[in-house]
Amino acid sequence: MTQLIRVEDLRVVAGDPGSEVEIVKGVSFALEKGEVLALIGESGSGKTTIALALLGYARRGCRLSGGVVQVGEHDMLALSEKELQGLRGNRVSYIAQSAAAAFNPAKKLLDQVVEGPLIHGLGTRAELEAKAIGLFRDLALPNPERIGRRYPHQVSGGQLQRVMAAMALISDPLLVVLDEPTTALDVTTQIDVLRAFKRVVRERGATAVYVSHDLAVVAQMADQIVVLNGGQILEQSATAPLLKAPAHDYTRSLLAAARPDTRIRPPCGIAEEGPLLTITGLTAGYGNKNLHGMPAIRVLEDIDLTVRRGQAIGVIGESGSGKSTLARVVAGLLTPALGGLTFDGQPLGGSLSERTPEQFRRIQMVFQNADTALNPMHSVATILSRPLKMYFGLKGAALQARIGELLDLVRLPRDMADRRPNELSGGQKQRVNLARALAAKPDLILCDEVTSALDTVVGAAILELLRDLRQQLGVSYLFISHDISTVRALCDDIVVMYSGHKVHAGRRESFAEAPYHPYTDLLIHSVPELRQGWLETCGATSGELPPIGERANLPELCTFLNRCPMRIDGLCNRTAPNRRTLDNGSEILCHRDAADLLVTQRGVTPTSFGAYA
């Protein structure tokens, strides 16, 4: 094989001249043609900074101060900006974490895919459009001949991520840099995208650098792994031996954090008391209402749910399942069309204006993205002081003392009170986000994907903090996530939602082994495992899933009908299922009984499959 990428003693500094700080400290590695190398580490480890250096690029406030970055015959650190522009999007391509932010919303997808190679003179428009359609097909995009005519907002997140991959690969680059390309995706979508990436990279013999904080994902993609911390390489090895016997303690900590079912100790010593929040027959959605008061787009249908005092309930499902809409209804940010809510035995109004100040205080929400939830112009002290002043009228020394107590609660140093959000790490910002909710002394906290944007180590620390705060304060959680392993590690009960319906609910213990609702089975087998080869076999228990169709949204049929590998023709496509209780106490919305589910989910095809008379 031929060495294609060579990085020697790479150094990057940040800050103003005279006060620069070295953030990448003498990093060296090499990559053969056709190999995939992973850069892995926590936020701030330097992995994205190193990946961008492969394009000869440094972010604002940073400078490539020394070393060698050789891509093919090109010394990226010795080239002028004009020469680098001729290589970027041509010989070196980049796939960003957020496809939604990378596309122009005013241009069609195909126009954006062929724009770069047209600028670089790599072919005629007709030739490049034909090549793009071929890539769409290779990347398993639906309707490859027509999807390019759509605008970015007209395709799903997973489809947009694959279109970005086509944009990166269309120039047949020497090197493709993939920067956390699946972090923001649902676990089921992530599998499709990873499979498409891996197949195309292998088939085309592309050389790639994959940036990630998730070792389980990296295990499916990389030939070798570079472990980074503090801008330095701590360990470098082929993938298999590193996963089996990591040499460095830090690598072992990453491996431990990647096993979510074991990284959090089960809650103990917490007595669940009477009902705190009760939801009955809830239907909600968006858009203009008809004469019967029903919204044009129904997102939630007939939801029943009870949260007891001191209890943590996890709500899981893919994007569009309705889980965040459920949180918005409980928070008073969306008025339900049907159904009722009761909080601590009293009616809970559908909007904030219908709630008492005390109800408003006792239900707080922690949002997914702390970057947008925290005012960048305010200090941490100012952010925390607002609820303390509003709810309790604190001021002066009492206010400052309580701010210090809140920082202690979320395990942040008290001197961080004077910092602004842009001076904090992602995990620190999420702790401030949580401290603001705790300032109100709530009884119920709505946690909406609070760890999904964090790396595995920081996310594990936030989950541990939530567990300890629950034990210390007796607070209840409605914990929303798309990752069943995260929910299973923290919560007592789990509710699985699909297309606005509650399809499975039960105690955490009942999710440890089959039987499950077919959709729950899909979610469980979509969480990457820490072993090579998992990606090629992970669909074995769920089967091939057809695309979601309009029929699945008809209320008189099963909501999961068109994606279910266990559907019974003649029954599932004619009659809506009733709720049934399994032997383990779980409740599912399915025509299948426990015996059928159990046999199928253990890998044996039952004789009852096929047409239903």
User: What pLDDT score does 189 carry?
Assistant: 80
Mean of pLDDT values over 355-360: 94
Query: Both tokens of residue 354?
Result: 């219908």
- Which fold is adopted by the domain 275-510? Rossmann fold (3.40.50)
For residues 234-266, b (16+ Cβ closer than 10 Å) or e, as one string?
bbbbebeebbeebebebbebbbebbbbeebbee
CATH 3.40.50.300 domain span(s) along the chain: 3-258, 275-510
Mean pLDDT of the chain: 88
Residue 547 pLDDT more than 50? no
- pLDDT of 227 over the 50 cut: yes
Amino acid letter for position 178: L
What lies within 8 Å, CB to CB, of 292 at 6+ separation is none
Cα–Cα distance between 528 and 485 in angstroms, integer?
10
Judge whether residue 361 has pLDDT over 70.
yes
Q: pLDDT at residue 263 above 70?
A: no
The fold for domain 3-258 equals Rossmann fold (3.40.50)
Are 490 and 315 in contact by the 8 Å Cβ rule? The answer is no
pLDDT digit string, tens, across residues 563-589: 888 888 888 888 889 999 998 899 999
In tens, the pLDDT along 439-486 reads 999 999 999 989 877 878 888 889 999 999 999 999 999 999 988 888
Distance CA 473, CA 471 (A): 6
Give Cα separations from 346 to 315, 360, 508 (angstroms).
24, 13, 28
Amino acid at residue number 483 = D
Q: Give the helix/strand (H/E) hosting 325.
A: helix 323-331
Strand stretches in 493-555, DSSP E: 493-498, 501-507
pLDDT digits (tens, 9 = 90+) for 427-437: 899 999 999 99
Percent of the chain having pLDDT more than 90? 60
Q: Give me the helix-helix angle, 187-203 and 125-138, nearest 10°.
A: 120
Quote the tokens at residue 183.
């972090």
Contacts for 608 with CB less than 8 Å, ≥ 6 apart: 596
Tell me the per-residue pLDDT of 311-344, one tens digit each, with 9 for 90 and over: 999 999 988 789 989 999 999 999 999 999 999 9
Identify the pLDDT of residue 295.
84
Which range has the worst mean pLDDT, 30-44, 69-83, 291-305, 487-501? 291-305
Q: Which tokens hold the place of 136?
A: 């769409």
- Characterize the bridge pairing of strands 295-308 and 232-238: unpaired
Task: Tell me the per-residue pLDDT of 154-187, one tens digit each, with 9 for 90 and over.
Answer: 887 778 888 999 999 999 999 999 998 887 778 8
403 contacts: CB under 8 Å, gap ≥ 6: 381, 384, 385, 388, 417
pLDDT at 328: 93
Residue 204 above 70 pLDDT? yes
The C-alpha atoms of residue 514 and residue 529 are separated, in whole angstroms, by: 18
